[in-house]
Amino acid sequence: QKEVEQNSGPLSVPEGAIASLNCTYSDRGSQSFFWYRQYSGKSPELIMFIYSNGDKEDGRFTAQLNKASQYVSLLIRDSQPSDSATYLCAVRSDKLTFGTGTRLAVRP
């Protein structure tokens, strides 16, 4: 079992829709959870982090964490073509472990 699992996609949504990205992790000792966005040929850019169960909202983005289910998600409201990128879920215990990422394509 991979430590951090994500559906590789691509996930295709129309402009203005809600994009839902999911991630599961195996280490119950994980303490904090991160979502990064990566454009092709660029470095990962931090979008949000969360470490308490529940929801955390920042603008169009909402991160959701359920430690009992070992599940973390990212919702992107009012998706824009500029949101088209690979979204990386990362889980931190001592080091930061990444999933392989989900490619999101927002259709104009």
Residues that bind another protein (CB under 8 A): 31-32, 34, 36, 42-46, 49, 51, 88, 90, 92, 94-101
Query: Quick one: 18 or 96, whose CB is closer to another protein?
Result: 96
Query: Quick one: 56 or 60, whose CB is closer to another protein?
Result: 56
Is residue 11 exposed (0-12), middle (13-18) or buried (19+ Cβ within 10 Å)? Answer: middle
Query: Quick one: 60 or 103, whose CB is closer to another protein?
Result: 103
Query: Quick one: 17 or 70, whose CB is closer to another protein?
Result: 70
Q: How far is the CB of 20 from another protein (least distance, A)?
A: 20
Q: How far is the CB of 61 from another protein (least distance, A)?
A: 15
Structural contact between residues 69 and 22, judged by C-beta atoms closer than 8 angstroms: no
Q: How far is the CB of 69 from another protein (least distance, A)?
A: 19
Torsion of CA 103, 74, 49, 46, to 10 degrees: 30
